[in-house]
Chains A and B, each alone.
Chain A
Amino acid sequence: MKHYLKLNARRMKQLDWLALAQLKTVRFSLLAVLTAALWATPAAAWAEEAEPAHEASSGLDLLLPNLGEFVPMLIGFIILWAILAKFAWPMILDMLETRVNTIRTNLEQAEAARVETAQLLDEQKALLSEAREDAARIIAEAKTAGELARADIEAQAAETAENMLERARLLIEHEKDVAMLELRSSVADISVALAGRLIGTELDIDQHRQIIEHYVAQAGSFDDN
């Protein structure tokens, strides 16, 4: 796009120069044509006269124009020149001027478009660069957050597992203690029941009275209880 715009601008400049050149050329051509016509007519008159007069004139007459024809021709040339200058010349110049202006305007617009496009291109580049930077930053942040989340989850899982193990250990200890307590109680109950049965079946009245006497002797006073 840039290259095309550059090429176009150069070409527009070339065209402008060409238009000016063409204008100059046209002007010069008209002038040349008129001058040629002007000189051709007297030259022709001169030549016609020159042929019959060739025989009669001297060398100097060959160089000098025929005033009787040159002056009208000159007047005619001047009139023609004035007419062209008055009517044709401005019109042609206007046309050329208009074309030049149009071309200049197009060139300016193209230049403005080129500048605007260049600006847009720069802005787009800046936006793209900024977007890339944002994307990279977001990706980096996401990675960091992901790493942190993973570490946090791992830590929580480890802590939860540790807590569960600890609770299980405590529960096992508690159950063991309860079982031991029940076992002791059962052993005590059985032992006492067995002792009671032995006492009940083995002691007679006299033995009971001996026990009573023994405990009465050992028993303290009521103030001790």
Chain B
Amino acid sequence: MTTSTHNAVVDIYAQAILAEAMQAEDVQAAIAESLRFTELSTAIIASHELRIHLNDKSTSLASRLSLIDRLFKDLPDAYLAVLRLLVERHELKLLQTINERFTSLIEEHFGLVIIDVTTVVALDDELRESIKEKYSTQLASPVALREHVDQSIMGGIVLQMRDRRIDASLNAQLERARAVLASDTIGGVS
């Protein structure tokens, strides 16, 4: 598949998901839908066994589609339809790209920048507003946050915008401290 064909296929999928997301009442609901699809795609990508099973050509298509229906029965029909199509055409590898394209389409449609925020505890309104204010000033654009709660970061915050990331989590800091302690020289002294 050439790059242009690849992009065209991804765009088609993303547009289908966008159509579903645009049925939401407002921006926040649409953002929530995008978050939902993002979490779905992240979960599938993270599960190696699930991906192998869904890509296994020796397993019947009906069996694989049935698995999709049972695992993601609560998803909107559009999302489910996209997933079923990806499984049928053995194009699950496009999921990450579709998610990114879908996010871009949301951003383009609403004229804003989506930032994925990961914290140990849920953000309160004050924090939420401070983050939005800071980065809407920096990016010169309205900002929408997609909030994730992940205990593994141990504390602090992780910010992700498209392909850029700011990792201010305690986990990352501890890792840096561990790398410094484990290195041959500490402060220039070996």
Contacts and interface: CB of A to CB of B under 8 A. Distances in A.
Contact of A188 (B164, B168, B182): B182
A205 B123 CA distance: 10
B168 to A, nearest CB: 4
Interface stretch (A83-91, A142-150, A195-203): A195-203
A219 B157 contact: yes
A208 B155 contact: yes
Interface stretch (B30-38, B45-53, B171-179): B171-179
Contacts of B127: 209, 212-213, 216
Contacts, number: 84
B154 A212 contact: no
Secondary structure type dominating chain A contacts: helix
Nearest to A177: B184
Nearest to B159: A219
Given A185-B182, A191-B181, A205-B121, A211 B170 contact: yes
Given A199-B170, A209-B124, A222-B139, A187 B181 contact: yes
A213 B166 CA distance: 14
Interface residues of A, number: 29
Contacts of A195: 174, 177
A181 interface: yes
Nearest to A207: B155
B175 to A, nearest CB: 7
